Structure 1
Amino acid sequence: MRRYARTLVAVALAVTVVSGTAGWASGNAQQAVTGPPPGTAAWRSDHALGRELPDPARDTPAQVARFFEGLSEEDQQSLVTRHPLVVGNLDGVPLELRYRANALSLKDSHDPRYAHLAADDHRQILAFDPRGRGQVAEVFGDLRTARQVSVVVPGSDIDAGTFDRGNDVYGTPAGMAKSLYSQTGRGSAVIAWAGYTTPVGVGMDAATGSLAEAGADRLTRFGDGLAADGVPTPAVFCHSYGSVVCGLAASRLRATDLVVLGSPGMRADTVRDLHTDARVWAAKDTSDWIDDVPNVEFAGLGHGADPASREFGAHRVPADDAHGHTGYFAPGTESLHAFAAIADGTYAEGDAR
C-alpha cells in the first residue's frame, strides 16, 4: 500500500513538473493517422494492368516489393502517375518510384503548409502523407549506395509544417538528420522520419502511449519496407517522445542500434524488457528539462524507467555539452560525435573525445 501511495505521488509530481516546465496543453488531443495511404480506394479499384494491385492494408512490404519487381518500367511509372499518394507512401515500393511519386503529390498539393517541401526538386522525399497535420520522411545521402543507414525519429510538435523549421533546427527531424549526415558523410545515408502523429505541447497525449503505439506500428512497417528494398539495417535515433515510439517498436523493429536521447522513458524497466537484439544507447544532458520529469508509469500515465540510468542497462553516450532538450545533434558536441560513430559501427562506450 505504501508503494502504491508513492507511485500516486510520483505521478502527481510528474504532472506538476511538466505543467511548470513546458505548459500543460489542454484541449489539443490528437487523433493518430493510421491505416493505408490516402487514395487507397481508387488504387484498389484500378485494374488497368490486368491484375490485382497489392492491398496497402493487408500485404506486407516484402509482398509489395515482389509485385513491383514483376512490373515493366512502363507499368511502374504508370502507377506513379495515376496513384502518387499510394505509391509514395507504400512501404516496399522501390525508392526511386517513391521519390518521384511524392514529388508529384507535393506539386499537386495546394496546401501552403507543404510549399517549402515542394520548392526544391532535389529533395528526396520518401514519404508524404497530407492527412492530419501531415507526415514526411526525407533521405539525406544515397540509400542505394550507402553502407551505413540511420533513421531519426522525432518527438512532440513535429509534423509536415515543422519538419524543417528555421528555428530550433536541431530539434527538428530534418535538422537532426542533416547534422548526423554531415558527420557520417559519403558511404552513409540518414532518413528523417516524421511518419507518425506526434503530441502537440506537453499534455495528456505526451504523458500517455496511445500515439506512440500507433507510431510504433508505422515505424516497424517502414523498417520492413527498407529491408524489402535492400537497404542496410539502420541505426535508429529516437528523440524525446520518439523514444517511447522506439521502445514500443523495439521487439519488432529492424535495427542495429537503438539510440535514445532526451527520453522520458521507453515503456520498459530495463534493456532486457525491450526484447531486441539491437545495441541500446542512451544520452541525457543534465540541462535537459526532461530530467525533471519523474520516470514512472501508472494507470497509463508516464513512460517508465529512465533509459539513461545505470539500472536500465543501456550503453551511455556522453552529452555534457549538449545544451537543453534539443542540443544533442548540435555541431561540435560529444553526443553528435558519438552518434556518428555508432551509426558506422565503430563506437564503443567510453570512446568520448
Structure 2
Amino acid sequence: MSVVTLRMLFDVDTAAIGRRADGWLRMANGIDDACEQLIRVSRDLEHVWPDGPAAEAAAARSHALRSEASNAYPPCRRIGDALRLHADTLRGLQGRLQGLAAEASGRGFSVDVTTGTVTAPARMFTEPQIVAQQISAYVNEFQAILAQAAESDASTANAISVNLPDATTGFGTLGLPPVTEATLRDQQGRTPKEVNGWWRTLTPEQQEQAIRDFPELVGWLDGVPSSDRDTANRLVLTTRMNALRGEADAHARRLADLLINDPRNQLEIQRETQAMNAAQSQLDKLAEVDKALSGLGAKGLLLGVDGSGDGRVVIAVGDPDTARHTGVWVPGLGTTMAGNTVDNVKRMVTVNNAADQLTLADGDISTVYWLGYDAPDLNNFSVAGEGRSEQGGPSYLNFMEGVRATHDSGPSHLVAMGHSYGSTVVAEAALTGRLPVDDIMVQGSPGMHTDSASHLMADPRHVWAGSAGNDPVSETSNVTKYTQFVPIVGPFIGNAYDDGHDISPHEPEFGANQYTVDTSGHTHYWEPNSESVKNQGRILAGQYSRASTVHGSPPPDVVP
C-alpha cells in the first residue's frame, strides 16, 4: 500500500487530480466520437466494394482500425473515472483532516503534520490520563484517515497501470466479445440507469454490433442513448418495410396468376387476397412513420417502432439527450400508428416551435411523441375504464427514467404531457411517486385517477391542465350526453367514464393550474399561434410567469 503522510494529504492539490481526470475523460469521449464516425462512414464499405483483393484488404484494414479505436475507449474511460473518484475521495478526507486538526488546536493540542504527532502543552488543567486518551483518539482518527487515503491512492494507481496501452488488456487490436441476445434480454429487467451504465461499458464497436444484430431489442431498451436507439429503429423500419413490400408483391403476383389461370379456385384466391391486404396494411402503418420522419429531417429521432396490432411508435423532435427542456406527450382516445402519426408529430413540432422561441439557443427543446401503449377506442369499453392506462403507465414511467438516465451533463427540465386518455397514462406513472419529472401538463383530460394534484406532484404548482370550454371529454360530468348515441352500450360507457377517471384536473378543487385555452373542441389544442399552444410552450420552457392562467398559483420560473 502507498505511504501517505499527513503533510501529503494536507498539501495535495485535488483540483489538479480532477483536471487530469477531465483530460482522460475528454480523450475517452473524443475517441468514442471519432470511432462512431469511423463506424458510420465505413458501415457500407462491404456493400459498395464487395469483391476483389483490394476490397478484401480494405475491409480487413477497416475492421482492424475500428477494433483498435473502439477498444481504446473503455481503458481511457476507466482511468478518467478512477482519477475522478480519487480526487473526490481525497477532497473529502482532506476536509476531515483539516477539521480534526483545527478542533485539536482549538482544545490546546499541537498537531505536527510532518511527523504526524499530537502533543499537549506543558500545563493542562486536565488529568494526565485523560489528556493521553484524547491524544490517542486524535492520532487514531488521523491514522484512519491516512489509511483511507493510502487505499484510494493504491487502487487508483492500479486502475491506471492495468488500463495503460497494452494489447493484452484490450487497449489495442485485441477483439472484445460480441454482445449476445441473452445479454440484451437480461437488460430488459434492469432499471434504465443500470442499462445506461452497462451500455457505456461497451466499446463503440460492440454497440454497433448489438445494433446491427439485434435492432428490435436495442431500439426499445430504455437507458440506451437516443442516437443509438434511432439507428436501431431505423434499421428495423427499413428492413420490415422492405420485407412487407416483398410479401405484398409476391401475394399480388400469385393472385394475378390465379385470376388468369385458375379463376374457380375461390378459396385460394381469398387466401391470397387476405394475405396481400394484411401485408399492405402493415406496410401502410410503417409508411406513416416513415413519412413523419421524412418531414422532420435531421431533427427527428425514431426511439421505438412496432407495427403489430394498432402499432406503437416513439418519435422525438429534437434530441432529448442534449435538450435543456424535454416534453414527452402521450396521445389519447382512438390513436393508432396508421391513422395519427403524421398529424400528432406535427403537433409536437408546433409545441417545439412555441417553446424554442423562449430559449437561449437552438436545440434547447425536445418534444417526444410517445405512443408506447394501446390507446382505447370509443366503440368498446376500454375508454371508460382504467385498464389501458394501467398497462401504459409502467412503460411510460420506464421511458421517462430512461430520458433522465441518458441525458448529457447539464441541467434538464423534463415535462410529462398527455392529451385526453393519455393524461390518465401520465397519471398512472405519477401516482407511483417515481415519475422523474419537473412538471405535468395535460389537455382535455377526463380525469387523472385522483382528486388532488398533490397526489401527482409533491408541489401541485407544477401540475397544469388546459380545457377548451366546449371539450366534451374534459367536462367532468357531461360525457354521457355524447356517448349516449353509441348504440346499446353508450350510456354505460358514459357513466363508467365519469366514475372511473375522477374529477377533471382543470377544475379549481383539483388544485392544479388551469392555463388559458382559446381553441375549440377536443382536438384543436395545438392550433399554431393560439394562446393554448403558446401556453404549452411557455410551460415547457419553464417560463411559468408568462403563461396565462384561469386559476392557480404558478411556481418560480426555471433558470434559463
TM superposition score category, shorter chain reference: 0.7 to 0.9
Paired AA for residue 98 in structure 1: R
Residue 67 of structure 1 and its aligned partner are, at CA, apart by: 1.0
- Residue 554 of structure 2 is aligned to residue 328 of structure 1: no
User: d(CA) in 2 for partners of 1:206 and 1:55?
Assistant: 34
Quickly say closer, same or farther: Cα 1:275–1:234, change in 2 above 3 A: closer
User: d(CA) in 1 for partners of 2:544 and 2:185?
Assistant: 41
Paired AA for residue 161 in structure 1: A
Counterpart in 2 of 1:162?
A: 339
Residue 143 of structure 1 and its aligned partner are, at CA, apart by: 2.7
Paired AA for residue 220 in structure 2: N
State whether residues 320 and 407 of structure 2, in contact with CA within 8 Å, keep that contact through their aligned partners in structure 1: no
User: d(CA) in 2 for partners of 1:204 and 1:128?
Assistant: 26
Residue 260 of structure 1 and its aligned partner are, at CA, apart by: 1.4
State whether residues 163 and 194 of structure 1, in contact with CA within 8 Å, keep that contact through their aligned partners in structure 2: no
Paired AA for residue 280 in structure 1: V
- Residue 296 of structure 2 is aligned to residue 116 of structure 1: no
Matched residue SS, 1:180: helix
Counterpart in 1 of 2:351?
A: 180
Quickly say closer, same or farther: Cα 1:291–1:163, change in 2 above 3 A: closer
Quickly say closer, same or farther: Cα 1:100–1:188, change in 2 above 3 A: same
User: d(CA) in 1 for partners of 2:545 and 2:452?
Assistant: 20
Q: TM-score if structure 2 supplies the norm length?
A: 0.50
**Post-superposition CA distance 1:3-24 (Å, at most 9, x none):** xxxxxxxxxxxxxxxxxxxxxx
**Post-superposition CA distance 1:297-345 (Å, at most 9, x none):** 97995200121111111101001x2111011111121111111110111
User: d(CA) in 2 for partners of 1:158 and 1:99?
Assistant: 22
Counterpart in 1 of 2:512?
A: 314
User: d(CA) in 2 for partners of 1:147 and 1:137?
Assistant: 20
Quickly say closer, same or farther: Cα 1:335–1:216, change in 2 above 3 A: same
| Residue of structure 1 aligned with 2:319, choices 135, 142, 157 | 142
Paired AA for residue 346 in structure 2: G
Q: TM-score if structure 1 supplies the norm length?
A: 0.78
State whether residues 91 and 225 of structure 1, in contact with CA within 8 Å, keep that contact through their aligned partners in structure 2: yes
- Residue 528 of structure 2 is aligned to residue 348 of structure 1: no
Structure 2 portions without partners, runs of 5+: 1-176, 245-281, 357-361, 479-493, 551-560
Matched residue SS, 1:290: coil
- Residue 450 of structure 2 is aligned to residue 268 of structure 1: yes
Matched residue SS, 1:201: coil
Structure 1 portions without partners, runs of 5+: 1-46
| Residue of structure 1 aligned with 2:225, choices 88, 94, 97 | 94
| Residue of structure 1 aligned with 2:378, choices 201, 216, 219 | 201
Greater helix share, 1 or 2?
2
State whether residues 447 and 476 of structure 2, in contact with CA within 8 Å, keep that contact through their aligned partners in structure 1: no
User: d(CA) in 1 for partners of 2:527 and 2:452?
Assistant: 28
State whether residues 447 and 474 of structure 2, in contact with CA within 8 Å, keep that contact through their aligned partners in structure 1: no
Paired AA for residue 87 in structure 1: V
State whether residues 135 and 197 of structure 1, in contact with CA within 8 Å, keep that contact through their aligned partners in structure 2: yes
Tell which structure's C-alpha radius of gyration is larger: 2
Matched residue SS, 2:370: strand
User: d(CA) in 2 for partners of 1:213 and 1:130?
Assistant: 22
Give me the identity figure in percent. 30
User: d(CA) in 2 for partners of 1:190 and 1:80?
Assistant: 24
Quickly say closer, same or farther: Cα 1:216–1:276, change in 2 above 3 A: farther
Counterpart in 2 of 1:14?
A: none
| Residue of structure 1 aligned with 2:421, choices 220, 241, 244 | 241
User: d(CA) in 2 for partners of 1:337 and 1:247?
Assistant: 23
Residue 162 of structure 1 and its aligned partner are, at CA, apart by: 2.5
Paired AA for residue 477 in structure 2: P
User: d(CA) in 2 for partners of 1:114 and 1:338?
Assistant: 33
- Residue 203 of structure 2 is aligned to residue 67 of structure 1: no
Counterpart in 2 of 1:5?
A: none
Q: Matched residue pairs, number?
A: 300
Quickly say closer, same or farther: Cα 1:255–1:326, change in 2 above 3 A: same
Counterpart in 1 of 2:165?
A: none
Higher relative contact order, chain-length normalized (CA < 8 Å, sep 6+): 1
Quickly say closer, same or farther: Cα 1:297–1:342, change in 2 above 3 A: farther
User: d(CA) in 2 for partners of 1:49 and 1:135?
Assistant: 26
Paired AA for residue 261 in structure 1: Q
